[in-house]
Structure 1
Amino acid sequence: MMNQLVQGVLLGGYYALIACGLSFMFSVMRIINLAHGSLAVFSAYGLWLLAERFGLSPFLGLAVLLPVMAVLGWVLQRYLLERSARGGALLPILTTFGLAIVIDNLLFEQFGADTRSLAPYIGSLSYDSWEWPGNIYVGKLAVLIFVVAVALLGGLQLFLNHSAMGRSIRATSEDPDTAGLVGIDAVRINAMATAIAMATVCLAGAALGMRATFDPYSGAPQLLFAFEAAVIGGAGSLWGTLAGGIVLALAQTLGAKLHPLGFLIGGHVAFVLVLFARLTAAGRLRSLLGRTA
């Protein structure tokens, strides 16, 4: 049982990593990016292409692809999401849904339906492990992904709290009109925030490609995991995203222990229970405020 708990916590690090960009975009711009999973798969294909065609390891490939994804995020925000946001809250969701379909089908047209993986390009890291007391084996790659997730979430939190750009992002997320009165360009800040989110998506795509296989239509399951982790942890909360990822992974691990088909069902049950609890609490709060008004 202890071994399963350890593996669940480490898997939660991956879920937190892939949910980071989704939670960050929602916290800043209140946009639910339905293309999030597809963009992560796009990054995984980009790293695979750099490794297959140019012999770059995925770690060196990240040095090339991270700035590319950041620029792509800036462009998407300035010329797509910013314009769609003017049409109301629903239009950006529909826009990112359409973007996901376009990305998935472009990847299928270019690479076909074959599954691919970055594992062959990272050597023994894909299967090496440490033995802990109690006959517990911990994969080195799983630990690396967990450490990256914690470092990324912690770094983003420090960035938001202690940098001028971070404070501008927080001010824009709270009230873009008032932020504009003190000289903050909300359009530029949102574009920078999306660039940061896309860089985190690139890291998530690298983790996906190293730990598992992927194909052009792998984005939807990754989006689902990211969405569930973000909601369980509290949408917009960075440290909550880590907690949500761990809770989701532990629920999946428990579900798999109870039934061979219970891995995904356990995670969905945890998500529904947390969502129901949040809605119930919100309803009671509104009722209480209504009585005191």
Structure 2
Amino acid sequence: MNALIHGILLGGEYALIACGLSLTFGVMRLVNIAHGDLAVCGAYLALFGSVTLGVPATYVLPLVLPVAFLLGWVLHVTLFERALRAGPLAPVLVTFGLSVVIQNVLTAGVTANPRTLDGGALSLASVDGVSLLRITAFVVAVGVLGGLQLVLSRTAFGRRVRATADDVETARLVGIRVRPLFAAVAGLAVATAALAGVFLGLMGTVDPYAGGLTLIFAFEAVVIGGLGSLWGTLAGGIAIGLTQQLAALWSAGLSVLAVHLLFFAVLTIRPRGLLA
């Protein structure tokens, strides 16, 4: 039972990391190799704000998230948009280069030493032996994914996003301004990645090279859940978390391998994912 509870909570964390990746691929068909590194940037932004202001990292989230949204907007206008026009392979190469740049800039600026974020009283509290911080991360993940799904389903902005995702050229013909729409989606993706990175730093350690493993789990959550499905991303994250925790009961060394085997099994049996 303990493994099941922790697996579900861990799955929420993976889903929060994968949320932005699912959004950018579902709307723009952009595979962002730097997504995990952008999440790590969010953790370091929160660390900088926490140390500067002398408050727990959770208190600086209202400052980190707008900065992350603006960063995503700028990245789309300067890099992603041009890469998407250049062909299907260009975005992969451009975001891979962005990943390398972020890792080297962080290493030069803050060293490669692992860091952890100060969560204040939240990081010390627990409910029946379960960390309140992990429960909070799961609730935030469900809230973010549910909120985005509601926005996409019920608002005019969401209708424009879904129309553009279906057919970019037709969307332009009916008057939708695709460029700022894609930039806003990229901003939302980077903001959710930064939010996930903050929780990653609160519940463990981060370093400039932590984005690679983070990206792998996020990508697997998106594929297992179904490309372009936000609720599928949550289901994929929970499936990964449960697999990792239950496999660890048998052997801790097999927990990561079990996740990759689940990924290949879903690709073989149901390549469109659980909730495509």
**SS of aligned partner of 2:252:** coil
State, as a whole percentage, how many aligned pairs show the same letter.
49
The alpha-carbon deviation at position 101 of structure 1 amounts to 0.4
Aligned residue number for residue 114 of structure 2: 115
Q: Which has the larger radius of gyration?
A: 1
Aligned residue number for residue 148 of structure 1: 140
The alpha-carbon deviation at position 124 of structure 1 amounts to 3.1
Q: Which runs of 4+ in 1 moved over 3 A?
A: none
Are the aligned partners of 1:58 and 1:122 in contact in 2 as well (CA < 8 Å)? yes
Structure 1: state its 5+ residue gaps.
132-136, 283-293
Q: In the aligned structure 1, how far is the partner of 2:257 from the partner of 2:99?
A: 25
Aligned residue number for residue 226 of structure 1: 218
Equivalent of residue 179 in structure 2, options 176, 187, 211: 187
1:34 aligns with 2:33: yes
The alpha-carbon deviation at position 195 of structure 1 amounts to 0.9
The alpha-carbon deviation at position 270 of structure 1 amounts to 0.8
Which amino acid is the alignment partner of residue 177 of structure 1?
Answer: E
Equivalent of residue 241 in structure 2, options 225, 249, 253: 249
**SS of aligned partner of 1:235:** coil
Q: In the aligned structure 2, how far is the partner of 1:107 from the partner of 1:54?
A: 21
Aligned residue number for residue 127 of structure 2: 130
Matches within 5 A, 1:15-30: 15-30=14-29
- TM-score, normalization by structure 2: 0.96
Q: In the aligned structure 2, how far is the partner of 1:278 from the partner of 1:98?
A: 32
Q: In the aligned structure 1, how far is the partner of 2:219 from the partner of 2:194?
A: 17
Matches within 5 A, 1:1-293: 2-118=1-117, 121-131=118-128, 137-279=129-271
Q: In the aligned structure 2, how far is the partner of 1:66 from the partner of 1:130?
A: 28
Q: How large is the Cα RMSD of the aligned pairs? A: 1.3
Are the aligned partners of 1:256 and 1:266 in contact in 2 as well (CA < 8 Å)? no
Q: In the aligned structure 2, how far is the partner of 1:161 from the partner of 1:271?
A: 28
Which amino acid is the alignment partner of residue 251 of structure 2?
Answer: H
**SS of aligned partner of 2:24:** helix
Which amino acid is the alignment partner of residue 66 of structure 1?
Answer: L
The alpha-carbon deviation at position 60 of structure 1 amounts to 2.4
Which amino acid is the alignment partner of residue 221 of structure 1?
Answer: L
Q: In the aligned structure 1, how far is the partner of 2:218 from the partner of 2:46?
A: 21
Are the aligned partners of 1:252 and 1:266 in contact in 2 as well (CA < 8 Å)? yes
The alignment covers a number of residue pairs equal to: 273
Are the aligned partners of 2:23 and 2:230 in contact in 1 as well (CA < 8 Å)? yes
**SS of aligned partner of 2:86:** coil
Structure 2: state its 5+ residue gaps.
none
The alpha-carbon deviation at position 63 of structure 1 amounts to 0.8
Are the aligned partners of 2:14 and 2:221 in contact in 1 as well (CA < 8 Å)? yes
Which amino acid is the alignment partner of residue 6 of structure 2?
Answer: Q
Structure 1 residues 90-127: Cα deviation after superposition (integer angstroms, max 9, x where no partner): 10111001000000010000011111011xx2223223
The alpha-carbon deviation at position 54 of structure 1 amounts to 2.4
**SS of aligned partner of 1:86:** helix
Q: In the aligned structure 2, how far is the partner of 1:252 from the partner of 1:125?
A: 25
**SS of aligned partner of 1:213:** coil
Are the aligned partners of 2:56 and 2:120 in contact in 1 as well (CA < 8 Å)? no
- TM-score, normalization by structure 1: 0.91
